[in-house]
Chains A and B, each alone.
Chain A
């Protein structure tokens, strides 16, 4: 009886030491899950999820404070990828957060711009060039379409222009489900 107690105690001690050692030796700095989640988000930094940027949202999901369906720019694909990564069930996109819209880029009507720099300060990726009393313009390549520059503009001279479809960005559409004819057209894709 005593031997049993002794053996169990020794085992407990041994495993406890092993676990403690592992906790210290294999400690990972930072939260890798939040990094993985952040890598899946579209980095639009628009704030539609309710968090001030993609990284805070990623950390909220990692801390299980936020649902995975709050990102409209990421859309269904991102939500499914997050569900996959975290082993959660896919959830329908939250209508409150916003709807999945086709990609649009900000465009400043230069004739009306007054050079106030309010949009420059608002842009989360610093893709508006300009300075006080100087012309402002959006670097189209870097614009994520987050629309954060629209509210601050006092003369409302920024338009969201949908990306035009051309041969360069046309994609083959997914064929329709069973029992419907498969057709190719410029209207799709």
Chain B
């Protein structure tokens, strides 16, 4: 009888890359639905557009590299990159910017370094930062949430804005767009207003901006789903959020009127999205448990520093990229003690 000869173990494997990626996509759904509810169809359009562009770019690059195409796009990692990038973009961004960002992320940030598993930087964040730095005006033209929006756009109008570039008649960008809560907070603080004054404005909810904080909640829910399914471990989200919270609370305690309170930072901007979906990208993050705690904490710390003293209102992307550079060194210095060997401290 002819038997298969193969190396051990001979078990059905519980994990696969595709399954992991699928769960990430599923966990993103609540946040996506919330974003669409509050900010219109732009998000969904961008997600679809980005996914198609990402898969096409990956297929092309794999062909150019002479590698099999199907396993590469079958593992859905390009789709996840695309979705994470799209979710971070303003809803009315022109379509070609989305495509540019995604293609750059896939081709340069991922495949030029060797493909999945070899990229030192988070591709979605690379794409986002490229767009942010090169097209600051378009990238900061956000929409107000539905409850504050005087001119909500329907699906066809959104389509025409995104693909056509032209706004509906009678509207201009100033009327349409609104800064994000973080941006707003920053501008007001720079004008030396006090927190209690700033918070009188109707655009604030309980923690962060109206609408935005609820989106944050749904991201949190998605993150908890990932934790439950053991797709990610708790180390990075907890340490990152913990660091942001501690820093924010510390400065809020020192000067209540110049620094918003802790939970504001957690529920604004990309903090929750970043903690559960972006910083936890296994390829670019630290891999040892102790290392992940340090990695997450440093991301949180840098996020707060840039938000408070840096030039950009939101900082998660930059913080993640900076810590991606440090991840190999963190891994090297946080190796666990091998069973049966004594650590240096024992001697």
Contacts and interface: CB of A to CB of B under 8 A. Distances in A.
Interface of A: 172, 175, 179, 181-185
Contacts of B71: 179
7 contacts: A172-B7, A179-B67, A179-B68, A179-B71, A182-B6, A182-B7, A183-B6
Nearest to A185: B5
A175 B7 CA distance: 9
Interface in B186-219: none
A182 B5 CA distance: 9
Nearest to A186: B5
A51 B321 CA distance: 53
B5 A184 contact: yes
A112 B28 CA distance: 81
Contact of B6 (A172, A179, A184): A184
Nearest to B6: A183
A175 B8 CA distance: 12
Nearest to A183: B6
Interface string B55-68: 00000000000011
A175 B6 CA distance: 11
Nearest to A180: B68
Contacts of B5: 183-185
B67 A184 contact: no
A17 to B, nearest CB: 41
A55 B6 CA distance: 44
Interface in B1-53: 5-7
A181 B5 CA distance: 11
A185 B71 CA distance: 25
Given A184-B5, A184-B7, 13 more contacts: A172-B7, A175-B7, A179-B67, A179-B68, A179-B71, A181-B6, A182-B6, A182-B7, A183-B5, A183-B6, A183-B7, A184-B6, A185-B5
Instruction: Rank and list the top 6 A-B pairs by shortest CB-CB distance, nearest first.
Output: A184-B5, A184-B7, A183-B6, A179-B68, A182-B7, A179-B71
B84 to A, nearest CB: 24
A44 to B, nearest CB: 33
A182 B7 CA distance: 7
Interface residue range, chain B: under 10
Interface of B: 5-7, 67-68, 71
Contacts of A172: 7
A144 B257 CA distance: 82
Contacts of A181: 6
Contacts of B68: 179
A29 to B, nearest CB: 37
A184 B5 CA distance: 6
A183 B6 CA distance: 5
Most B Cβ at <10 Å: residue of A172, A175, A183: A183
Nearest to A182: B7
Contacts of A179: 67-68, 71
B67 to A, nearest CB: 7
A25 B68 CA distance: 63
B335 to A, nearest CB: 23
A182 B71 CA distance: 16
Contacts of A184: 5-7
B342 to A, nearest CB: 31
Contacts of A185: 5
A29 B5 CA distance: 56
A189 to B, nearest CB: 12
A173 to B, nearest CB: 10
A174 to B, nearest CB: 11
B319 to A, nearest CB: 32
Contacts of B7: 172, 175, 182-184
Nearest to A172: B7
A40 to B, nearest CB: 27
Nearest to B8: A184
Nearest to A181: B6
A175 B5 CA distance: 13
A179 B78 CA distance: 18
Contacts of B67: 179
A185 B7 CA distance: 10
A185 B67 CA distance: 25
A183 B71 CA distance: 19
A184 B67 CA distance: 24
B115 to A, nearest CB: 9
A167 to B, nearest CB: 15
Nearest to A173: B7
A54 to B, nearest CB: 37
Contacts of A175: 7
A114 to B, nearest CB: 49
A183 B3 CA distance: 12
Contacts of A182: 6-7
A176 to B, nearest CB: 11
A181 B6 CA distance: 9
